Amino acid sequence: MVTLVKHEWHQVDSQFKFDLDLDLLEEIYPDMKKAELKKRLKEIESGEYSIEDLINDAESENVYFEWEREYDDWWTERKGGYDVTYELKED
């Protein structure tokens, strides 16, 4: 008997979320006043202040987000286009 192994090489989009509020912004920017924090939150909401910059600012203050997994989208399984390879499994 010979065991055949099939591999499917997929791409996946994993989505995570995090709810950002003024309390957390205060931890990230301890020197900002409430009005400045509200302004920064609006800048983040509008896209004027990038999420990458926010994350870098947080890390520099040792503040880390606890991301919550939303879902995984195995889009290659839905749309095709994934690679398939085969091998023999040695016992």
Task: Compare 77 and 69 and report the one with higher pLDDT.
Answer: 69
> Can you give the pTM of this predicted structure?
0.73
Per-residue pLDDT tens digits for 26-75: 999 999 999 999 999 999 999 999 999 999 999 999 999 999 999 999 88
User: How much is the average pLDDT of 80-88?
Assistant: 90
- For residues 45 and 41, what is the distance between their CA atoms, to the nearest angstrom? 6
Handedness of CA 53, 24, 71, 47 (dihedral sign): negative
